[in-house]
Every structure is written in C-alpha cells, then in structure tokens.
Amino acid sequence: MRRDPLAVLARLRGLEVMQARHHLAREAAARDAAIAQVAAASEALREEARLGGPDHAAWLPRGLAERQAAASRAVDGEGRAQAAAEALGAARAAERTVENLAAQRKAEARRARQRAEQRALDEASARRLTS
C-alpha cells in the first residue's frame, strides 16, 4: 500500500512541533535557573554586607562578578528562549499549513465524489426517461 505523502509530511510537522516545544521548555528552564542564580547572588551580597567582617572586602569583587555573570546568563537565556518561542511559532505555522492543505484535498475529494454521484443519478434519470 502506498503511503500518502501529505500524511507523512503532517507527521513530520507534528514531530517538529513537539521537538520545538521541548527545546522551548529547556531554554525557559535554563533562563529561569539563571534568574534564580541572580537572585541568589544578590541575596548573598546582601547577607555578606549585613555580616560585614574582615573578609567582606576580599569577597565583594567575587560576589559582584558572580552576580554579573548570572545576570549575563539570564539575558542570554531570555534571548534563547525568545528564539525558541519563535521557532515553535514557525513550526506550528508549518503544521497548520499542512493541515489546511489536507483539509482542502479532503473537501476536493468529497466534492468530486458528490459530482460523480450526481452524474450517475443524472445518467440513470436520463436512461429512465428514454426507456
């Protein structure tokens, strides 16, 4: 039995959408983790400032660098999550296009069947009238 190329394409598009959803979820999780790291680094800076002590001056540059690195990862993560969301939108649009094409072909086949049925009825009617 021959496979319908449109059905194969629809399945492929569905898999692409699923893959794009997983990619978006991973990127959003990475972004959220980076945001949590920014919050944790900021909290560590506040706590160290509250405690003070002789080691605070030595620790402060490292704490600030950690917070800046986490903030940079959060910004990068937001960009990657946005790109993943756009890719998901494109994959969904491609999937809908294939679905619409399949629906059009199905409707066209239904109309062709209806025309054939009407033609058969017209021929039967014409034969009855000539008999």
Structure token pair of residue 58: 């030595």
Cα radius of gyration rounded to whole Å, the chain: 31
**47-63 mean pLDDT:** 83
* Dihedrals phi, psi of 54, to nearest 5 degrees: -70, -25
Amino acid 1: pLDDT: 67
Per-residue pLDDT tens for 7-42? 999 999 999 999 999 999 999 999 999 999 999 999
Amino acid 119: pLDDT: 95
Residue with the larger pLDDT of the pair 127 and 85: 85
Q: Is the pTM of this model over 0.85?
A: no
56-130 helix and 5-51 helix, angle to the nearest 10 degrees: 160
Per-residue pLDDT tens for 63-81? 899 999 999 999 999 999 9
Q: How many angstroms separate the CA atoms of 51 and 58, rounded?
A: 14
